[in-house]
C-alpha cells in the first residue's frame, strides 16, 4: 500500500535504506525493525479505498487463471531469473525494479528471452513479494477484478507501496484494511484460500492484531475478501516466521499438500496435530473430508532439521503459474521424491524446480518471492473429482460449477479410457441456475477400467476455459473396480500415541473403537487431580481424533486417561 508519512517519520526511510545497503532483508523482522514497528503503525494512512467493497467478494484461489506474475528484482537474482524463465511462457511477468536496463542485461547475459516481461520502476525494500503484495479478489464471484491489501507486518515503507504501484499500473481498484475499524495487519505467506470462502492461516494473525478479537478479524476477512470460514492453526515451535506456506499448500478445493518430517522430528508433531484438528472439524467446500498429500520436509545440506538449527527447507513453498508449478529444490536425494509427488498430485502440469539452497537460509523460497494478479474476466469452473466406483451399470454423473460474467454459452464434458486416442465429448446441461451447476454423464464402463475426464466451458462472450487447466494433458480420473473392499476389523480399543508430545497448543488424541462404547477421556496432573474433561459419553465406533489446547497450562507432566467399562488406559504427556 502507498502510505502518507509525516516529516517525523523520515527516519523510517533512512533506516530502511541503511538496512538494504548492509544486507538483503530477511523474510522476518530484524532486531532494528522490531523496535520500529510501533512507530511505523502509527503513521499509516490509506492510499486506496479504506472501506469494504459494496458487493460480495470472492478471493481467488492460487490455481485459477492469472494475467501476471509479480516479482521484485533485488537479492537472489539467480533464483529470480529462473522464475522468469519458467513463468514467461505462461503469463506476463511484471518486475519491480529500480533500473530496467540492468535487469534486461542480466537476463540477456543468462540467455533468458525478454518475452512477456514488463518493468515497473519503483522503490522497494526487499524481495518478499508474497508478504507485501496484492491479493486478487472478484466482486460477485466473477464480475469485477479488485485488489485487496492488508497492513504489511514489517516496517518497510517502500515495500508497502508496491500494491498501490501495481494497482495503478493495471488500473485495478485497490481496497485496503488500513483504517479503524477495518485495520488489519497480515502477511501473504500466512494466507491460503480455496476460492470459495474458506481460508487458512496460522494464529500469527491473532498475535499481530492484539487489539482485535477473533470475531473481529473474521469480520474484516469476510467484508474485504469474502472469507466466511477462516481456519486458524497454532504456530509451530521451530518455524520462526509462522507462515503456513512453509509447510502446506492447497492444490485444489479439497486437497491439502502437507510437509512431513520423520516421526517425532522438528515441527512434525505439531503439523500433524494441526492437520488432524482440521480434518476432524472441517470439510471441504464440497461437504466431504479434505484429501491429504504428504511431502517430505528435507534436512538442509548439512543434514540438520530446524530443531537442530538447520534451514527450514520446504517443498510446499511453490507457486501456480497457470499450467506450470514452480517449486524449490535442494539436493537430489530428496528432490526426486518431491518432484514425483507434485507430478502425481497434478497430472498434466509442468513442474519446474529451482535450487533454493541460498535463499532458504533467509527462511523463504519460491512462493515467498512471487505473487500474482488474476485475469479480468475469469471463467470459473469447479468440480469435485469422482471417486472410484463399483458401478458398472449406470452412467457416471459429472456436476460442475461453470460461471462467467457474460453467462455460459456451452459446457462440455470430455472423457476417455485411453488418453492416446481422441476424447469423447458430451454436452452438459444447466441443471441448477441458482448454483450455476452444469451436468453431463459418462457411460458406464466395465470393471478394471480407468476413466479420464475434464470439463470445458465457453462464455457468451466467447471465452473458453478448461478444468483442470492443463487439459487434455491434465485430467481427473477414477477407477471402476467392480467389487467392494472389506474394511479391516479391529478387535480392541486402540489408544494411539498423543501428539505433539511435548505439547504447547493444539494436542491430538487418536482413538480407534471397534464398537460404540461409553467412557470418559480426561486430563490429570501427576497428583491425580482432574484438570480437564476432554470428552465423555458415547465414543462412536471407528477412528476419531480428540483435541485439547494446552496453551496457558502450567508446564510439567500430565496424564491422559481413557476410562471405559473395560478399565483405564493411560498415557503421559509433557506440557512445555
CA end-to-end distance (rounded Å), the chain: 39
Reported as half-sphere exposure (CB side, CA atoms, 13 A), residue 431 has a value of 13
278 & 331 share domain: yes
308 & 163 share domain: yes
535 & 407 share domain: no
Determine, yes or no, domain membership for 485: no
368 & 442 share domain: no
186 & 295 share domain: yes
Determine, yes or no, domain membership for 427: yes
| CA–CA dist 560, 504 (Å, integer) | 15
The domain that contains 270 carries what CATH number?
Answer: 3.75.10.10
Determine, yes or no, domain membership for 171: yes
Determine, yes or no, domain membership for 13: yes
Is the alpha carbon torsion for 500, 503, 508, 512 positive or negative?
positive
| CA–CA dist 475, 352 (Å, integer) | 19
Cβ partners under 8 Å of residue 552, min gap 6: none
For 469, phi and psi rounded to 5 degrees? -60, -35
| CA–CA dist 176, 185 (Å, integer) | 11
CA–CA distances in Å: residue 520 to residues 154, 255, 485, 498: 46, 33, 33, 16
Question: pLDDT digit of tens for each residue in the chain (576 aa)?
Answer: 433 333 333 333 343 443 343 357 888 888 889 889 988 888 888 889 999 999 999 999 999 999 999 999 999 999 999 999 999 999 999 999 999 999 999 999 999 999 999 999 999 999 999 999 999 999 999 999 999 999 999 999 899 999 999 999 999 999 999 999 999 999 999 999 999 999 999 999 999 999 999 999 999 999 999 999 999 999 999 999 999 999 999 999 999 999 999 999 999 999 999 999 999 999 999 999 999 999 999 999 999 999 999 999 999 999 999 999 999 999 999 999 999 999 999 999 999 999 999 999 999 999 999 999 999 999 999 999 999 999 999 999 999 999 999 999 999 999 999 999 999 999 999 999 999 999 999 999 999 999 999 999 999 999 999 999 999 999 999 999 976 544 444 457 888 889 898 888 899 999 998 888 888 899 987 777 789 999 998 888 888 999 999 988 988 888 898 988 877 888 888 888
Supply 423's cell numbers: 476424447
400 & 357 share domain: no
Query: Cell 467389487 maps to which residue?
Result: 483
Supply 474's cell numbers: 491434465
Where would I find the H helices in 26-93?
31-42, 77-87
Query: Cell 499450467 maps to which residue?
Result: 323
Domain boundary among 334, 352, 374: 374
| CA–CA dist 518, 305 (Å, integer) | 42
pTM: 0.85
367 & 385 share domain: no
Measured from the Cβ of residue 412, the count of other Cβ atoms closer than 10 Å reads: 19
Is the alpha carbon torsion for 341, 342, 344, 345 positive or negative?
positive
The domain that contains 419 carries what CATH number?
Answer: 2.60.40.650
Cα angle value 61/407/476 (rounded, 5°): 45
**C-alpha closest to that of 401 among 411, 388, 409:** 411
90 & 148 share domain: yes
Cα angle value 297/302/307 (rounded, 5°): 55
Determine, yes or no, domain membership for 256: yes
DSSP for residue 264: T
Determine, yes or no, domain membership for 519: yes
Domain boundary among 374, 401, 416: 374
Supply 442's cell numbers: 459418462
Contact 573, 525 (CB under 8 A): no
**C-alpha closest to that of 220 among 210, 228, 231, 232:** 228
The pLDDT value recorded for residue 1 is: 41
Domain that holds residue 436: 380-480
192 & 71 share domain: yes
568 & 445 share domain: no
Supply 486's cell numbers: 472389506
Supply 312's cell numbers: 527450514
Secondary structure of 388-437 in the HEC alphabet? CECCCCCCEEEEEEEECCCCEEEEEEEEECCCCCCCEEEEEEEEECCCCE
The domain that contains 564 carries what CATH number?
Answer: 2.60.40.1930
Cα R_g (the chain), whole angstroms: 25
163 & 302 share domain: yes
Supply 88's cell numbers: 514467461
Domain boundary among 450, 480, 510: 480
Beta bridge partners of 518: 538
Determine, yes or no, domain membership for 72: yes
291 & 181 share domain: yes
Measured from the Cβ of residue 334, the count of other Cβ atoms closer than 10 Å reads: 17
| CA–CA dist 531, 525 (Å, integer) | 7
Determine, yes or no, domain membership for 60: yes
CA–CA distances in Å: residue 46 to residues 14, 138, 146: 22, 21, 16
Q: How many domains does the chain have?
A: 3
Amino acid at each position: 500500500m502507498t502510505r502518507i508519512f509525516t516529516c517525523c517519520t523520515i527516519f523510517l526511510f533512512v533506516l530502511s535504506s541503511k538496512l538494504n545497503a548492509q544486507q538483503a532483508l530477511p523474510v522476518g523482522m530484524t532486531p532494528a525493525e522490531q523496535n520500529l514497528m510501533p512507530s511505523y503503525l502509527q503513521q499509516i494512512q490509506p492510499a486506496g479505498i479504506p472501506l469494504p467493497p459494496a458487493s460480495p467478494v470472492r478471493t481467488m484461489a492460487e490455481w485459477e487463471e492469472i494475467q501476471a506474475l509479480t516479482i521484485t528484482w533485488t537479492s537472489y537474482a539467480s533464483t529470480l531469473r529462473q522464475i522468469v524463465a519458467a513463468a514467461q511462457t505462461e503469463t506476463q511477468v511484471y518486475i519491480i525494479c529500480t533500473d530496467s536496463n540492468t535487469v534486461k542485461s542480466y537476463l540477456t547475459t543468462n540467455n533468458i528471452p525478454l518475452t512477456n516481461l514488463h518493468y515497473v520502476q519503483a522503490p522497494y525494500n526487499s524481495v518478499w513479494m508474497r508478504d507485501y503484495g496484492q491479493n486478487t479478489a472478484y466482486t460477485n464471484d466473477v464480475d469485477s477484478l479488485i485488489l485487496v491489501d492488508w497492513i504489511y507486518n514489517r516496517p518497510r515503507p517502500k515495500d508497502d507501496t508496491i500494491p498501490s504501484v501495481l494497482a495503478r499500473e493495471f488500473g485495478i481498484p485497490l481496497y485496503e484494511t488500513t483504517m479503524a475499524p477495518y485495520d488489519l495487519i497480515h502477511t501473504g505467506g500466512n494466507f491460503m484460500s480455496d476460492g470459495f470462502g474458506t481460508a487458512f492461516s496460522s494464529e500469527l494473525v491473532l498475535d499481530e492484531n492484539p487489539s482485535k478479537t477473533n470475531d473481529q478479524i473474521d469480520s474484516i476477512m469476510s467484508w474485504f475478501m469474502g472469507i466466511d470460514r477462516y481456519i486458524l492453526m497454532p504456530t509451530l515451535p521451530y518455524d520462526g516466521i509462522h507462515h503456513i506456506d512453509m509447510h502446506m499448500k492447497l492444490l485444489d478445493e479439497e486437497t491439502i499438500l502437507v510437509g512431513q518430517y520423520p516421526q517425532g522430528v522438528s515441527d512434525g508433531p505439531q503439523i500433524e496435530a494441526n492437520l488432524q484438528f482440521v480434518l476432524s472439524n472441517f470439510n471441504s467446500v464440497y461437504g466431504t473430508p479434505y484429501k491429504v498429500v504428504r511431502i517430505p520436509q528435507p534436512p538442509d545440506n548439512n543434514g540438520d532439521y530446524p530443531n537442530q538449527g538447520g534451514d527450514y527447507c520446504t517443498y510446499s513453498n511453490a507457486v501456480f503459474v497457470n499450467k506450470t508449478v514452480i517449486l524449490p529444490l535442494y539436493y537430489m536425494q530428496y528432490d526426486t521424491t518431491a518432484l514425483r509427488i507434485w507430478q502425481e498430485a497434478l497430472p498434466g502440469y509442468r513442474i519446474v524446480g529451482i535450487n533454493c539452497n541460498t535463499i532458504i537460509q533467509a527462511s523463504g523460497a519460491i512462493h515467498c518471492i512471487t505473487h500474482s494478479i488474476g485475469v479480468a474476466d475469469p471463467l470459473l469452473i469447479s468440480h469435485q473429482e469422482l471417486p472410484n466406483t463399483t458401478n458398472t451399470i449406470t452412467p457416471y454423473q459429472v456436476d460442475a460449477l461453470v460461471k462467467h460474467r457474460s453467462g455460459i454459452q456451452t459446457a462440455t464434458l470430455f472423457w476417455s479410457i485411453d488418453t492416446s486416442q481422441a476424447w469423447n465429448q458430451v454436452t452438459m446441461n444447466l441443471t441448477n441456475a441458482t448454483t450455476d451447476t452444469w451436468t453431463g454423464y459418462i457411460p458406464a464402463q466395465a470393471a478394471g477400467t480407468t476413466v479420464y475426464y475434464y470439463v470445458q466451458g465457453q462464455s457468451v462472450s466467447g471465452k473458453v476455459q478448461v478444468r483442470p487447466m492443463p487439459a487434455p494433458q491434465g485430467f481427473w480420473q477414477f477407477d471402476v473396480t467392480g467389487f467392494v473392499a472389506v474394511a479391516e476389523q479391529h478387535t480392541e480399543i486402540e489408544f494411539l500415541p498423543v501428539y505433539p508430545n511435548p505439547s504447547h497448543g493444539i494436542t491430538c488424541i487418536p482413538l480407534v473403537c471397534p464398537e460404540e462404547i461409553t467412557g470418559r477421556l480426561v486430563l490429570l496432573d501427576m497428583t491425580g487431580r482432574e484438570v480437564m474433561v476432554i470428552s465423555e459419553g458415547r465414543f462412536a465406533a471407528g477412528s476419531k481424533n480428540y483435541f485439547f489446547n494446552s496453551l496457558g497450562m502450567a508446564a510439567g507432566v500430565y496424564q491422559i486417561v481413557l476410562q471405559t467399562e473395560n478399565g483405564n488406559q493411560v498415557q503421559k504427556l509433557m506440557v512445555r
